[in-house]
Chains A and B, each alone.
Chain A
Amino acid sequence: MIHVDVRQKRFGDRAVLADIAFALERGETLAIVGPSGIGKSTLLRIVAGLDVAFEGTVSGAHRIGFVFQEPTLLPWRPLLANLMIAHPKAGDGAAREMLAAVGLAGREAELPRQLSLGQQRRLSLARALLGAPELLILDEPFASLDRETHGEMLRLTERLIAEHRPATLLVTHDPGEASRLAGRVGTLAGSPARLEGMT
């Protein structure tokens, strides 16, 4: 069980997040929606341990997979190496299987820049899932994709989450994505932003 309790997060004198508390079980998906700039990515960075300057606690997530808003693949390393560097203990076979699972079989030796944005997002998802994460964090994973690619990526994400069953935390500005992927949906609103209307 993953527990998140962010009592306050400030940037200088300005409080940006306050009183955000939730728990996530394995196999459960929580989507957080809210407009741009409300603090969604900040919350994810706190949950992932990338930002520790806040009041509160985050516990229970030791292995984390993170699909960043930008794919943040290592452009100087081939696709297979991008997975293996993040998860050296996973093994070559598992990494190849994961590449195949996201539709990139046979492209192990290519470099990330040879992929489209949609394919880069799929590789980022593969990297996040290869380490069998207890918590999968998805930061606007479908942003800037064309309609067809968006649909494919949504279906792929849905299928892989069902197969691997991590606790999943998704942030998006699209309520449609949220309700399709998540069992629970909350909204970040206000200043400082609070989690409201959790279903």
Chain B
Amino acid sequence: MNATPLVQGLSIALLLLLWVLVAAQLADPLILPAPGDLIAPFWGELVSGDLLFHLGQTLIRVVWAFGLAMALGLAIGFAMGRSPSLNRWLDPWLVVFLNLPALVLIVLCYLWIGLNETAAIAAVTLNKVPNVVTVIREGARALSPDFDAVARVYRLGWWARLRHIHLPQLAPFIAAASRNGLAVIWKIVLVVELLGRSNGVGFQIHLYFQLFNVGLILVYALSFIAVMLLVEWAVIQPWERAAGRWRQA
């Protein structure tokens, strides 16, 4: 019997228990409400439609930024991993972008592009691309030259090489970049929304911060964490299992 789900369930239960204990110790719902105190505000936001609307807005931004960052990061990281000369040229840029604070990129995008959706998604994408590039570059460097030789002898076209030779070898690196990317991107999206959008979970958190409503801040934050966990369990993990099935055969 697989004990992992049981352990994970117990771990979450322990975290909740800790929360209950700390809330009880503080005894001030304005500072830290107990988990049970969030049910009513959660239900209120759900029924009014606000929660789903703002979750949806944030999710759309996450999906766009994630898709763009993965596509760009895959292409650039793959090219850098395969071409030492291109890597020599682009590596200093990568170091610069990796060390550029997220906040600076966000502010610059809003200043240069305007307070709009394009700037918001561009800011998140640009923040994430260097991390994806770094991971995929390592994967591209580790590609087996033996399989490249097979592809050359049998004159596989670029699409066949990508699909049958390169992507299966890159799968663990893509999975790592995806998992890490999703976790980072949604946090940056919240900052982007807080600074320059009029909807989304980040905007709502900013709003309730000004109203000093810790309960609703937690409702929105926890709701979005739940959505991201759902994406992880329903999309990323099954894809990862499918991509790595040949290893278990």
Contacts and interface: CB of A to CB of B under 8 A. Distances in A.
A86 B246 contact: no
B230 interface: no
Contact of A48 (B147, B153, B165, B168): B153
Contacts of B164: 74, 77, 85
Task: Classify chain B: how many residues form its interface, as a range.
Answer: 10 to 19
B112 interface: no
Interface string A82-107: 00011110000000000000000000
B249 A111 contact: yes
A139 to B, nearest CB: 11
Contacts of B152: 49-50
Contacts of B147: 72, 74
A64 B168 contact: no
Nearest to B145: A50
Contact of B150 (A86, A87, A110, A131): A86
B158 interface: no
A111 B154 contact: no
A113 interface: yes
Contacts of A142: none
* Interface band, chain A: 20 to 34
Contact of B160 (A45, A66, A88): A88
Contacts of B153: 48-50, 64-66
Interface string B90-128: 000000000000000000000000000000000000000
Contacts of A127: 154
B165 A74 contact: yes
B149 A76 contact: no
A4 to B, nearest CB: 16
A49 B152 CA distance: 8
B222 interface: no
A87 B154 contact: yes
B168 A76 contact: yes
Nearest to A73: B150
Interface in A27-70: 45, 48-50, 64-66, 68, 70
Given A68-B150, A111-B246, 11 more contacts: A68-B146, A70-B146, A72-B146, A74-B147, A75-B246, A85-B160, A86-B150, A88-B160, A110-B249, A111-B249, A114-B249
A-B pairs, 4 with minimum CB distance: A86-B154, A76-B246, A76-B168, A111-B249
Interface of B: 146-147, 149-150, 152-154, 156, 160, 164-165, 168, 246, 249
Interface of A: 45, 48-50, 64-66, 68, 70, 72, 74-77, 85-88, 110-111, 113-114, 127, 131
22 contacts: A49-B152, A49-B153, A50-B149, A50-B153, A65-B153, A66-B150, A66-B153, A68-B149, A68-B150, A72-B147, A72-B149, A72-B150, A74-B147, A74-B150, A75-B246, A77-B246, A85-B154, A85-B156, A88-B160, A111-B246, A127-B154, A131-B154
